[in-house]
Amino acid sequence: MDAAPPRNLAPWETIAQELTEAIKDGTLLPGEEVPTIGDIAQAHGASVGTAHRAFAQLKQAGLIEVGRGRRAVVRSHHEKRLE
């Protein structure tokens, strides 16, 4: 049986995957500020909306904490999600 060919990721999925890997491999440490949505969009040649969708995915996964009027930060591995 042949393995299914890898599917192409949407731009927001690619951004979310790269940020997830940076968090998991320690490039971005707990408590550290994540680059802004604008910076991420510019670095990936994507729209702000695309970068925002990637951030929403990371927030949903419990990897980052986002608050109005402040920068997103990497969540501690020991923090429990409150939802």
User: Where are the chain's structural domains?
Assistant: 11-74
Average pLDDT over residues 30-40: 95
SS (H, E, C) the chain: CCCCCCCCCCHHHHHHHHHHHHHHCCCCCCCCECCCHHHHHHHHCCCHHHHHHHHHHHHHCCCEEEECCEEEEECCCCCCCCC
Global confidence as pTM: 0.80
Mean pLDDT score of the chain:
88
- Residue 22, pLDDT > 90, answer yes
For the domain bounded by 11-74, which CATH number is listed?
Answer: 1.10.10.10
Q: What is the H or E stretch that residue 74 is in?
A: strand 70-74
